[in-house]
Amino acid sequence: MQIAKVRVDLSLDREFDYLVPPHWAGHIELGSRVRVPFGRRKILGTVVAWAGLETPREDLKPISEIIGDRTIFTPEILRLARWMSDYYICPLEQSLRCLVPSAVQKAQIKGKRRRKSVSDDGEAVEHVQKRFELTADQRKALEFVRGALEEEAPAPILLHGATGSGKTEVYLQAIEAILKAGKSAIMLVPEIALTPQTIERFQSRFGGGKQSALIAILHSHLSAGERYHEWQRLRKGEARIAIGARSVVFAPMRNLGLIVVDEEHEGSYKQEEAPRYHARNVAVMRGKLEGALVMLGSATPSMESFYNVQTRKYRLCSLPKRVDEIQMPLVRVVDMRDEALRQKGLRIFSETLKEGIQKRLERKEQTILFLNRRGYSTSMLCPACGHVPQCDQCAIPFTYHRALSKLMCHLCGTEKPAPSICEACKSPEVRFTGLGTEKVEEGIKKLFPQARMARMDSDTMTRKHAYAETLMDFRRGKIDILLGTQMIAKGLDFPNVTLVGIVYADMALHMPDFRAGERTFQLLTQVAGRAGRGDVTGEVVVQTFTPHHSAIQFARHHDFIGFYEEEIAYREQLDYPPYSHLVVIELSAVQETEVDFVAHWLQKEISEKISKHVTLLGPAVPPMAKLRGRHRRQILLRSRVMKSLAKVLHPLLGKIPRQKSVRVTVDVDALNLM
């Protein structure tokens, strides 16, 4: 009799043996969802392996029930789940849970019957939207894809293309080539709702006639049943293109040929709950396991990915120019320190930006205003000299804690009283940064009462279709000024936008995070890329207190390589990623003494077991010292190799003194240090 190893849906990090009843032999596969007796209950689980051929033990219980008529995992995806558990240090049960959207699992339990769908009879591709004659650079990128179809283990490609250089067209034609070869493709986008134009292009290219059956768009508005249905269509090979956000990297494709990760630098690819995977890294691993090509695209590649080009793990393809001779926008950097002197005090808008908006209103052209108001806490800034107090050891800005009137470094825990005068120039006028979109909206209404404006941020875009509707109004010219947060930074292509104003570029720069420079460069470049996509050359006005900061200067000159070279030197010097892996262990508890106790215990255990090449910092108080009534602590680890560190950490986490009140999470390759 066959014995199955089952992981039950409790994160026990253990496998249990069950008998496969003889009449089910052949029906249960690896990845099958089953119900099994467990103690006095029956609970759900997943078959993850077959037990060896040793004689069956008497005490084994049989599996009670198989859920669904076939698995929604493929064996390849099971292997991916194991890798995820090892790498991201989490129980396999947790990885399995995130492989299949919970809606899909629930629908599977209810035994949703599949609806009839149009079958794909493999006929020639009918296009609704026309294909472009590719530029020479685009053709070169496509050649890589054709070549990769012949390769057994193709190395990933990084497609570095300026904003408006035609990356999307390359993805579209690459996917066509994959379909022609009889294979399937996954297309990852940062957020479906925020990339309506990209989705539209895929729909119009592949969505017509018989082809519509080939594409599965997994957006968040699908019902549980619809989602399940789409997954089954992919699993059966009826649909061969899966488009969606992060979790679509696990789509059960048959004969996978290509995974595209658009805007690969985007932070939303990282899942901020366990397992804290990064969809781009999972895509690269999946490509390796299944021999599929992985194509990462961005105008502002992450430091990690470009470093992988330098070390020859990835191949580079560049689209340096915008298509159709369209010029990159002209970027003006406005020094707000001078502006404060001239306008006798801090104002939201510089003269340059005010005049720019006025001109656009007169010419009936459109303006996008951008203000990145993320983060809860403010840093200190001297408006006279632009100085921001930083931690000497970590080279990141201190975080100002108002209640304690202290400056704190959350990386190493250093703290000091907040100075009342600027440390650099002794000006008594130190300020705490804190400008939001609401205040900017007020300012616009006062200055340009006749302008039609819309504000786009998570406070105003709460209705289901608000985002799409506002964008539609903007496209139709019903809005003159669109003000927004990073919601408007991505992928938008409006030819009548000739001015982009970045209200306060330093906002992202002074986050207490070593990636602040990188994020600022990315944001500025992406937002600036919204300008001048039509016939009129675009203009970008960047308002800043630190006009000479390299992130701002390199963005101004559209110089990614220059930025990368400077930034990578700094990362190497401080041994930050991509030179090392950064692991953040976060602990929290209602009682401060409890969290301190466990944090120190863990710190001691880890420091005894790690090699001398691993750096351990903390426990420190993170910038958000208290969250939802819980006190927080962080332990930070940096290591050049992840494998050996994971081997030390994984068993330790199971041994933490059983204090239910203390929550511990591990974040490998953490992006969020708050």
Given the rule CB under 5 A, which residues bind Zn ion? 382, 384-385, 387, 391, 393-394, 409, 411-412, 414, 422, 424-425, 427
Give, as ranges, the residues between 229 and 288 that touch ligand ADP (CB under 6 A): none
Rounded distance between C-alpha atoms, residue 520 and residue 505, angstroms: 7
Rounded to a whole number of angstroms, the minimum distance from the CB of residue 134 to ligand ADP is 5
Which two three-digit tokens encode residue 455? 């504000």
CA–CA gap between residue 144 and residue 627 (Å, rounded):
48
Would you say 298 or 639 has its CB closer to ligand ADP? Answer: 298
Q: How many residues of this chain interact with ligand ADP, rule: CB under 6 A?
A: 16
Q: Torsion-angle region of residue 165: left (phi > 0), alpha (psi -120 to 50) or beta?
A: alpha
Nearer to Zn ion, 515 or 530 (CB): 515
Give backbone dihedrals phi and psi of 144, rounded to 5 degrees, phi first.
Answer: -60, -45
C-alpha 308/C-alpha 577 separation (Å) is 12
List beta partners, residue 186.
242, 259
* 300 binding ligand ADP? (CB under 6 A): no
CB of 167 or CB of 558, closer to ligand ADP: 167
Site pattern 486..525 for ligand ADP (x: CB under 6 A)? -------x--------------------------------
Binding-site member from 31, 101, 164, 356 for ligand ADP (CB under 6 A): 164
**Minimum CB–partner distance for residue 171 and ligand ADP (Å):** 8
Within 6-65, which residues bind ligand ADP (CB under 6 A)? none
Question: What string marks each residue from 311 to 340 as x (binds ligand ADP by CB under 6 A) or -?
Answer: ------------xx----------------
Q: What is the DSSP string of 472-511?
A: HHHHTT--SEEEESGGGSSS---TTEEEEEES-THHHHTS
Compute the least distance from the CB of residue 198 to ligand ADP, in Å.
8
Asked if residue 91 has a cis previous peptide bond (ω within 30° of 0), the answer is no
CA 123 – CA 208 distance, rounded (Å): 13
Choose one: 87-95, 163-171, 222-230, 606-614; the region binding ligand ADP (CB under 6 A). 163-171
* Part in contact with ligand ADP (CB under 6 A); list of ranges 126-134, 228-236, 263-271, 328-336: 126-134
Q: Are 176 and 127 in contact (CB under 8 A)?
A: no
Binder of residue 323, out of Zn ion, ligand ADP, none (CB less than 5 to 8 A by kind): ligand ADP
Provide, rounded to whole angstroms, the least separation between the CB of residue 263 and ligand ADP: 9
Contact between 477 and 347 under an 8 Å Cβ cutoff? The reply is: no
**Torsion over CA of 608, 609, 615 and 619, rounded to 10 degrees?**
-60
Min dist CB 133 to ligand ADP, Å, is: 6
**Alpha carbons 184 and 257: distance in angstroms, whole number:** 5
Which string of x and - marks every residue 74-113 that binds ligand ADP (by CB under 6 A)?
A: ----------------------------------------
Instruction: Work out how close the CB of 192 gets to Zn ion at its nearest, in angstroms, rounded to a whole number.
Output: 38
Select from 138, 367, 525, 603 the one that contacts ligand ADP (CB under 6 A). Answer: 138
For the CB of residue 412, give the shortest distance to Zn ion in the complex, in Å.
3
Length of the chain equals 674
């390769």: which residue's tokens? 151
CB 7 within 8 A of CB 92: yes
Which of residues 46, 94, 165, 377 is near ligand ADP by CB under 6 A? 165
Applying CB under 6 A, does 526 fall inside the site for ligand ADP?
no
Q: In 3D, which of 292, 310, 319 has the Cα closest to residue 140?
A: 319
Sequence-distant (≥ 6) Cβ neighbours of residue 222 within 8 angstroms: 103, 230
Could you list the residues that contact ligand ADP (CB under 6 A)? 132-135, 138, 161, 163-169, 323-324, 493
